[in-house]
Amino acid sequence: MVDAKLGNPVNEADGRIRLTVVGAGVMGIGIATLGVSRGLDVVLVDVDPAKAESAPGKVARELRLATLTGALDRDAPLGAVHATTSFDGAVPADAVIEAVVENAAVKLRVLGAVSRAVGPHVPVVTNTSSIPVDELAAGVPHPETVLGIHFMNPAYLVPTVEVVPGSRTSDAIEASASALLARLGRTGVVVGDGPGFVTSRVSHRMINDAIKIVEEGRASAADVDLLMQNCLGHPLGPLRTADLIGLDNLADSLAVLFDRTGDDSFRPAGLLLAKVAAGDHGRKSGRGFYPY
């Protein structure tokens, strides 16, 4: 078990809230950073030893950034973060948040393992941005414990999240999830289940269209973003947003939306797929529609 502390060590007897986050990618690191910044003890699980080993350092860097941006008080008491490659030492937990790749088969496998490990009373949260919660809950031993909470990137800066109960999610689990969000200082907006929920259903079509405009040579990425920012009030512009999401994650989410809805506007643009194939995944890889 890779072990690194950013605050007080975990003490199971002192009543501190313990959160397990599965997946040490961009979203997992962001969610872990949010938890630690709010005084929660966080265990990060990733089967990739390199990702597990580097995770505490990444959380430390994100905490420094959160402090610089004013999202975190310099004197705020921090939780502890630990990283591991297995669930050994990751449970018991007060809640588990799955933040692995946007692939239904992978998520089902992870959520099934989580559900078996934590039992019928712990919230099992999926951070999916596009896959229906009922579809994922159908493959786990305790579907009543599963619900969606769609954190935006970066999780420690965006104060509002989508909350997506499944048709079998119990009232007790919803209440526990609400309490967790309150502890994290997030505002949850409850929405109905379905492909893409609200934010991805609306935003991903727009981003995909913006990519198609660039692909057609009608405007540059910078000009598309400038127009959307200055004419329509989009904070970053759709293509900078795509780079922030991660172009690989965006392509996966669009594929889910296209597959689940049959709406051709969700078919991933050819330029997007070409960038993903070339390894240009956005901010996290150093290049997407912009260099970083």
Tens of pLDDT, residue by residue, the chain (292 residues): 333 333 333 344 455 789 999 999 999 999 999 999 999 999 999 999 999 999 999 999 999 999 998 888 888 899 999 999 987 766 778 999 999 999 999 999 999 999 999 999 999 999 999 999 999 999 999 999 999 999 999 999 999 999 999 999 999 999 999 999 999 999 999 999 999 999 999 999 999 999 999 999 999 999 999 999 999 999 999 999 999 999 999 999 999 999 999 999 999 999 999 999 999 999 999 999 999 9
Domain borders along the chain are: 18-190, 199-277
Whole-number pLDDT of residue 198: 97
CATH number (3.20.20.80, 3.20.10.10, 3.40.50.720, 3.40.50.300) of 18-190 reads 3.40.50.720
The number of helix segments (H) and strand segments (E) in the chain equals 10, 8
Contacts of 158 (CB under 8 A, 6+ apart): 151, 152
**Which one of the listed residues 150, 204, 234, 281 is annotated catalytic?**
150
Among candidate residues 136, 141, 116, 139, the one with its CA nearest the CA of residue 125: 136
- Round the CA-based radius of gyration of the chain to a whole number and report it: 19
The reply to whether the predicted model has a pTM over 0.85 is yes
Residues 143-147: contacts with CB within 8 Å, 24+ apart? Answer: 143/168, 143/169, 144/120, 144/168, 144/169, 144/170, 144/173, 145/115, 145/118, 145/120, 145/121, 145/169, 145/170, 145/173, 146/111, 146/115, 146/173, 147/123, 147/173, 147/174, 147/177
* Total residue length of the chain: 292
β pairing state of 160-165 and 187-190: parallel
CA atoms within 13 A on the CB side of 59: 33
121 is catalytic: no
Contacts of 137 (CB under 8 A, 6+ apart): 111, 143, 146, 166, 168, 169
Token pair for 190: 């409850």
Whole-number pLDDT of residue 9: 31
Coil, strand or helix at 189: strand
d(C-alpha 53, C-alpha 35), whole Å: 19
What architecture (CATH level 2) is domain 199-277?
Orthogonal Bundle (1.10)
Whole-number pLDDT of residue 71: 87
